[in-house]
Structure 1
Amino acid sequence: MVILTYEQYNEIQQFIQKFRGLSIDCNRELVNNFPQHNPDTLGSILAREVRQRLKQSHAKISARADGLLADYNKKVKTTGSLDVLLKMAVSLRIPPLSLCRIILLKRFPDTTKSEVSEMIRNPDLIKDSLLGANVGYCMYNENMEGPITDTIRRCIGEEYEVKLKHMARDVGLVFYDEGDLRRTGYDKTPDLKLAIPCLYKGRVVNWIESKASFGDMETHLGYLRDQLVSYGNRFGSGIVIYWFGYLDMIADCGENGDYITIVDNFPAPEELEFLRFNIPDVYKKRLEQAKS
């Protein structure tokens, strides 16, 4: 079970906020200092903290773009080093590729944001070869954003969706997935919509949503606003699985209403109750004859 109290969660937050260095190094130190917690849980909390820090500081750092570019040019001219941008990102406490975007937009003012994203995916496209090498060095030392991280996160999300379907089939659930629902015209859809509802600890389950992340309060409230409330209104009550655990207080969050049940793993078969059909004897005989 991966359910954290506020005190446990706050301790991890404080460690991240005090850490000075790359997120990839912070992730390693988190695993070493909190061995009692799942590494995926720690990584998910770290990612959320870095996003929050970036949200608070990005505008201020972007406003300093002229000075940052001048500082980069001075240092790279002096040293010719490939890790100038990386060291600047550490001192600014900003993800390296976020700093790369700011520098590239200022260095090439006629480029669009999509063109800058393409430069980050393929640093060889950057006309300034030393700047391209610095961007590439940042990309390979980044675990919070960028093409490599995006691919890893997408694969993890898909892995847990597949895992959810396998586990649902293993316990005998019949369901429609997102593709099935979208083909019938639904826009916002849960990962699984049960064709036949079941009971989980006495509560009706009509749908199941998979989240390959840790559920903190702010993230959960965002999911409620953007997805979960509409699922509840449209399909009735359901389950949200935070595979990497959750903060204990979100399970009792008032905004969940009677629609949302929070868990950190797929329910055990003995926790589920299935609808039993009372089939008349005459039809039972016909079914037995059909099988034989």
Structure 2
Amino acid sequence: MDSKLYHFFYESLHSHDDVQKLSEKYNVCCGTLSSILNQKVVEDVKKSHYRFKRKEDKLVKEWRGGQSFLTLSRKYNYPSTLISTIVLENLGHSKKEIRTFYKNPKAAENARLQNELIESLNADYFFSPRAHQLQEEKGRIGENIISFWLKKKHFDFTCEDEMRAEGHAGKTPDFLLRKSVKINGREICWIESKALFGELKEHRHYEKKQFKEYADCFGEGIVVYWFGFETDILNEKDDRYTIIDSDFFKKDVPEHVNKFLDYVIYW
């Protein structure tokens, strides 16, 4: 996806309602648009977090005045789970206690907190424990497809957990091929799965923290951005790895890939 189109979608996505509308209008899979929306929300929160924290006294006052976590979330356009965290911390609850409340809202001390926690956690598709759980599941599905594909091709490989068990120190890719194989004309030694859209800024972070180190340690590799990527990445990436998306796997495991492309984190 060229950068102009990516930024169009980035600016057009405000909620999950927009995901379905834009998907139908522009024939782009829901998983790609959902991934872009998630990255946008996370980036917006990072930019505004410290500025927003300065409002915490006002938030607590408004909450004490009867406005719920979800009402405040909609009022300030800020994730409801993070609103509840700010209020609960100001009420004197520790991070451990708050984690307990998120796992079991009924553990909170009164009915109001219990009901508002249930309401706000169910409405937060980005920062709630359920959203994080689904994001992790999304990552596992992408890795499972690659594992299935590698086995189908009869390639000998080891996965990240096995590498650690074998004593590999430092950072390890999701898959290490025990013997290099020729893919797209290159001798590939490792594969890294990213169950997201490859946005340029985030890609630069991953390249610095992961991809270059994999290339240094293991040789040439492949990075899979399952939900597509900005084509500008190809103009500046390290030459020691190739970037692909879901299209690469469609011809071999179409039933797995097509289902994955519609994966969205909302309920």
TM-score range, shorter chain: 0.7 to 0.9
Alignment match of 1:158 (pick from 121, 127, 140): 140
Mark the runs of 5 or more structure 2 residues left unpaired by the alignment.
253-267
Deviations along 1:193-244, whole A, 9 cap, x unmatched? 1111112222221111111111101111111122111100000110001111
Task: Classify 1:150/1:269 alpha carbon distance in 2 versus 1 (closer, same or farther; 3 Å).
Answer: closer
Distance of 2:250 and 2:19 partners within structure 1 = 34
Does structure 1 residue 237 correspond to structure 2 residue 226? no
Q: Normalized against structure 1, the TM-score is what?
A: 0.80
Distance of 2:22 and 2:240 partners within structure 1 = 37
Does structure 1 residue 7 correspond to structure 2 residue 14? no
Instruction: Give the deviation of 1:51 after TM superposition.
Output: 0.6
For the 8 Å contact 2:176–2:191, the answer to whether it is kept is yes
Structure 1 SS opposite 2:147: helix
Mark the runs of 5 or more structure 1 residues left unpaired by the alignment.
20-25, 77-83, 272-292
Structure 1 SS opposite 2:190: strand
Structural mapping, 1:82-97, within 5 Å: 84-97=68-81
Structure 1 SS opposite 2:66: helix
Number of the residue aligned with 1:129? 111
Structure 2 SS opposite 1:140: helix
Which structure would you say has the larger Rg?
A: 1
Alignment match of 1:101 (pick from 85, 88, 94): 85
Task: Classify 1:130/1:270 alpha carbon distance in 2 versus 1 (closer, same or farther; 3 Å).
Answer: closer
Number of the residue aligned with 1:27? 16
Alignment match of 2:55 (pick from 28, 42, 64): 64
Instruction: Give the deviation of 1:173 after TM superposition.
Output: 1.2
1:215 maps to a residue whose letter is G
Number of the residue aligned with 1:200? 183
Instruction: Give the deviation of 1:269 after TM superposition.
Output: 11
Distance of 2:12 and 2:75 partners within structure 1 = 17
Distance of 1:239 and 1:156 partners within structure 2 = 19
Number of the residue aligned with 2:242? 261
Deviations along 1:145-168, whole A, 9 cap, x unmatched? 222112111111111111111101
Cα RMSD (Å): 1.9
Task: Classify 1:270/1:117 alpha carbon distance in 2 versus 1 (closer, same or farther; 3 Å).
Answer: closer
Distance of 2:155 and 2:9 partners within structure 1 = 37
Does structure 1 residue 226 correspond to structure 2 residue 209? yes
2:217 maps to a residue whose letter is R
Report the number of matched residues: 249
2:5 maps to a residue whose letter is Q
Distance of 2:249 and 2:133 partners within structure 1 = 31
Distance of 2:226 and 2:219 partners within structure 1 = 22
Distance of 1:92 and 1:250 partners within structure 2 = 34
Distance of 1:270 and 1:125 partners within structure 2 = 49
Percent of aligned pairs with the same amino acid: 24
Structure 2 SS opposite 1:34: helix
Distance of 1:150 and 1:244 partners within structure 2 = 18
Structure 2 SS opposite 1:199: strand
